[in-house]
Amino acid sequence: MKKDIYILDAKQISVQSPLVDDWMDNPLSYQEPYIRAIDPDYKQYFEPNTVRRLGKILKRALLTSRQVMEATGISNPDAIITGTGLGCLENSELFLEALLRDGETLLKPTHFMQSTHNTIGSLIAIDAHCHGYNSTYVHKGISFESALLDAYMQLKNGQIQTALVGAHDEMTPKYFTWLQRIGYLGNTKDSFSGETAVSLMLGTTSVEVRCTLPLLCQIKGVEMLYVGARHALPLLPLQTMLTHLLEQAQCSLDEIDAVMIGANGLPTNDQIYTEVCRALFPNKKMLRYKHLFGESYTAPGLGAYAAATCLHQQCIPAHLFVNIDEKEQKKVKNILFYNQFENKNHTLILLSSCGK
């Protein structure tokens, strides 16, 4: 039996106002290349001990997860699947620096215990007493899609009915300068580095009724392609992947309202999107999201959330369009999400409105 798969709800903490969709109408803009997320007042949500004990990435992941579980009424998801490019960077740095500074004899375990990537997914599981499937994907700019694909496959083949999918990355000042030096992050306000914490609750048709909220959107397909180190654009395999995705979703390219891309203001990155889009999606309206959320390995998680929000609210705000002359668009049926990382990894996600 073919199952429909939905994003039931999503909550984010990023460089935009936390836990709300204010970026739709009142996007915050920045003038610096390195911006950290706007943290809510955690004291309002957690015990003082928790606020003190947990690192930033963990607090953000825990709060967005709790909120999305509360909002959907799904307190015990069948699977908790996390994507994170760099994991608990801050704690890793603290432990490594103590090791290099103080030597190998006086180390305390606190930072080490919170340094592994799967600390995030485990924390959520411990907090919610979830004994179900729990996994963590750690693959650079496609960590979020890897997590999403795992959930999507299991939902589709009936192994699970609900999945909490998270995309989480923090960025420390040191790591920022290093990633800037090797060209992954930019040095202008148009190519700024952000931080990502977004939790999405996914479910199949059967849980639709359990969810007390209107659904955000439907996920009609997830595709991933690795092409390895190369200079030419892999247009042929990308075309094959696109055709396959649309066929599976029984959707034509004409029905796609817009393509959302990961343009981030860095010429080497943006040029790949421009050329691929010109070849694969000529004349389609292009949307962006990194001008709002900044760059981070799991920023695509925020992109998917942004696209889902547009489908839910039936509105694409003018500021999302790559073409600055475009006006706000009402009525949105399908958004194709296209992400690539260093021209080595390419992913597509097809998101559709739940409305008729």
Partner 1 sequence: MEFFFITGAGIISAIGNNKQETLSALQEQRSGIAPLRYLNTSHTEFPVGEVKLTNEEMMQLLGIPETEVTTRTSLMGMIAVREALLEAQLIAPLQNTKIALISGTTVGGMDKTEVYYLDFFEDNSKDAYIATHDCGSSTEMIADYFGIFSLVETISTACSSAANAIMLGAQLIRDGRADVVVAGGCESLTKFHLNGFNSLMILDREPCKPFDAHRAGLNLGEGAAYVVLESEECFSRRLRVKPAMTPLKPLALLSGYANTCDAFHQTASSSNGEGAYLAMTKALAAANLSPEEIDYINAHGTGTENNDLSEGIAIQRVFGEKIPPTSSTKSFTGHTTSAAGGLEAVISILALQHDFIPANLNFSTPMPELSFEPYTARHGGIDPQAPNLKHVLSNSFGFGGNGTALIFSVMNNEE
Nearer to partner 1, 24 or 81 (CB): 81
Which residues ranging from 104 to 143 are in contact with partner 1 (CB under 8 A)? 104-105, 107-109, 112-119, 121-123, 125-126, 128-140, 142-143
Nearer to partner 1, 80 or 320 (CB): 80
Which residues ranging from 82 to 101 are in contact with partner 1 (CB under 8 A)? 85-87, 92, 95-97, 99-100
Nearer to partner 1, 224 or 315 (CB): 224
187 binds partner 1 (CB under 8 A): no
Nearer to partner 1, 115 or 329 (CB): 115
Helix extents (H) in the chain: 48-53, 56-72, 89-102, 110-113, 119-128, 143-156, 173-181, 205-208, 235-249, 267-280, 290-293, 299-313
Nearer to partner 1, 12 or 114 (CB): 114
150 binds partner 1 (CB under 8 A): yes
Q: Return the bridge partners of 85, or none.
A: none
Pairing of strands 217-226, 5-13: antiparallel
Residue type, 100: L
181 binds partner 1 (CB under 8 A): yes
157 binds partner 1 (CB under 8 A): yes
Nearer to partner 1, 154 or 218 (CB): 154
Site string for partner 1, 46-85 (x = CB under 8 A): ----------------------------------x----x
Q: Return the bridge partners of 316, or none.
A: 329
Nearer to partner 1, 135 or 274 (CB): 135
301 binds partner 1 (CB under 8 A): no
State the Cα–Cα distance between residues 164 and 8, nearest whole angstrom. Answer: 10
296 binds partner 1 (CB under 8 A): no
Q: Return the bridge partners of 351, or none.
A: 219, 335
State the Cα–Cα distance between residues 133 and 115, nearest whole angstrom. Answer: 21
Packing angle of the helix pair 173-181, 89-102 (nearest 10 deg): 100
In sequence order, what are the residues at sequence separation of 6 or more whose Cβ sits closer than 8 angstroms to the Cβ of residue 15?
Answer: 28, 30, 35, 36, 37, 38, 192, 194, 195, 292, 293, 294
- Three-class SS of residue 51? helix
Q: Which residues bind partner 1 (CB under 8 A)?
A: 80, 85-87, 92, 95-97, 99-100, 103-105, 107-109, 112-119, 121-123, 125-126, 128-140, 142-143, 146, 150, 153-154, 156-157, 174, 178-179, 181-182, 184, 224-229, 237, 297, 344-345
